[in-house]
Amino acid sequence: MYGVPLYWLVSTSFCSNAGCLPAHLDRQPAARWRQLVPDRSGTTALPLALSVPAAHGLARLRGSIVSINLGLVIVLQMMPQTSTVIPLYQVLGSWNILGSIPGVVLADAALLLPFCIHILRPFFLAIPIEIEEAATVDGASAWRILFRIALPPAFNGTVTAGIIIFLIAWGEFLYATSFLVDPQQDPLSVLIAAQIGQYGNNWPALMSIAVATGLPILVIFLVSYRRLREGLALGSIR
């Protein structure tokens, strides 16, 4: 069930409509990689930067503020992307960033931020509060406690969250296809969809772009699998 689809994905990517030829790869993906890496890195860095203090605050604060904010985080995670795409289109348009990469980055970051907070909070909860209490007695400020005391032990969790966010952001499709108007800016996910037409599908081109899309995922996955699996096993995103 898992090997066969992956085999057909790779084998068909080396074919053309005229027949199977070795080393047939669409040239578009290479150019899109160069564009996608900074784009998706921004989409990863922005929610990560915002979620680290928020997750730490939600792990350490007590009372109704935590319940309300956690409830909001869960509700926002459950919001379907399709319900936000129309108002975001209007909002990004009114800010004159529709059709630009920063616009898509901002929209994607908003989509991923609640999820990122949800992943990171358990990592901060796992740090004994006594360490931070000792730092407060020594006169450390809240920001100093976050960056000098809490963040180093939660570094693994932060990296895990970053990897998961990057993996999701890499294949994001709906915002990219809705908010980018120049076909030259289309990410690989939109290129894949473009190969499916009303009068026929260009399977070899589609598969070659799909392989090109999957290759960075494979590399990141192989490099970070142990960390990713441990992060998932911690129950961080249950």
Nearest distance from C-beta of residue 164 to another protein, angstroms: 8
Query: CA quadruple 222, 223, 224, 225: dihedral positive or negative?
Result: positive
C-beta of 22 vs 63, nearer to another protein: 63
C-beta of 27 vs 122, nearer to another protein: 122
Phi, psi of 182 (to 5 degrees): -85, 120
> Which segment (35-43, 88-96, 154-162, 178-186) binds another protein by CB under 8 A?
88-96
- Residue in 152, 167, 154 with CA at minimum distance from that of residue 223: 167
Binding track, positions 24-63, relative to another protein; x by CB under 8 A: --------------------------xx-xx-xxx-xx--
Q: How far apart are CA 80 and CA 78, in angstroms?
A: 6
Nearest distance from C-beta of residue 89 to another protein, angstroms: 8
CB 188 within 8 A of CB 29: yes
Q: Is residue 19 classed as helix, strand or coil in its secondary structure?
A: strand
> Which segment (24-32, 35-43, 151-159, 216-224) binds another protein by CB under 8 A?
216-224
Query: Applying CB under 8 A, which of residues 20, 30, 37, 65 lies at the interface with another protein?
Result: 65
User: Is residue 14 at the binding interface for another protein, with CB under 8 A as the rule?
Assistant: no
Helices (H), 61-202: 64-78, 81-94, 101-125, 129-137, 142-144, 155-170, 174-179, 188-194
Q: How many residues sit in the footprint of another protein (CB under 8 A)? A: 85
Binding track, positions 129-168, relative to another protein; x by CB under 8 A: ----x--xx-xxxx--xx--------------------xx
> Which segment (14-22, 27-35, 37-45, 103-111) binds another protein by CB under 8 A?
103-111
User: Is residue 223 at the binding interface for another protein, with CB under 8 A as the rule?
Assistant: no
Is 112 exposed, middle or buried, given 0-12, 13-18 or 19+ CB atoms closer than 10 A?
A: buried
Helices (H), 138-187: 142-144, 155-170, 174-179
Nearest distance from C-beta of residue 87 to another protein, angstroms: 4
> Which segment (14-22, 26-34, 152-160, 214-222) binds another protein by CB under 8 A?
214-222
CB 154 within 8 A of CB 127: yes
Query: Applying CB under 8 A, which of residues 20, 37, 131, 196 lies at the interface with another protein?
Result: 196
